[in-house]
Structure 1
């Protein structure tokens, strides 16, 4: 399953899941749990609250793009290191990095069900 899990996460990052809820729900298991250590503290999200976070970010920026530099998988888990780039509404011609991430995703039933993530701002 390790290749399938890796392909699933790559497809998630490359999809419209960050702007379209129906696409998001294709990738995200209903029992999703995201455990995130960020510069603002530790947060836990479920499927609904993670979508609200993504939706809020999507409304704040013209576009979001994930640039994955590393992806490793074993069995039903995938580790990804990536940079999140955005184009602001005020300056849609310039893409800037806003954060660096490392996340460990678990796949179950062909969907992403769990994520342990750490991040820090690029600025």
Structure 2
């Protein structure tokens, strides 16, 4: 798979709710630097998996609507809106946030992520 295809697999519908699927796409030394409206987070492998587990408990569906994706070598930039459906109201899709992320890949795995999000 190309770097772009690996990143697309990460953002495929519901993958972000599945810890096993996410784990297969992450490098063991992954680091995600995330600037959000609530502050800065620096997440390592287990912390990303913990976040995935929490998302899986709160939401029944997850969909990333990618508007832009650009690949250059082992680096992929993605702009997307993340929509979810809650357990309480599985028929209503709501916007979780808008994201911009640059992923560097190593050994065909997500290795370094630089992400910004806004509600």
Alignment: residue pair count: 119
Aligned to 2:92: 94
Aligned to 2:55: 57
Structure 1 residues without counterparts, runs of 5 or longer = none
Query: TM-score, normalising length from structure 1?
Result: 0.90
Query: TM-score, normalising length from structure 2?
Result: 0.93
Give the root-mean-square deviation of aligned CA atoms. Answer: 1.4
Q: 8 Å contact 2:23–2:49 — kept in the other structure?
A: no
Work out the CA distance in 1 between the residues paired with 2:25 and 2:58: 23
Structure 2 residues without counterparts, runs of 5 or longer = none
Say if 1:16 and 1:30 are closer, same or farther in 2 by CA, change over 3 A. Answer: farther
Runs of 4+ in 1 over 3 A off after TM superposition: none
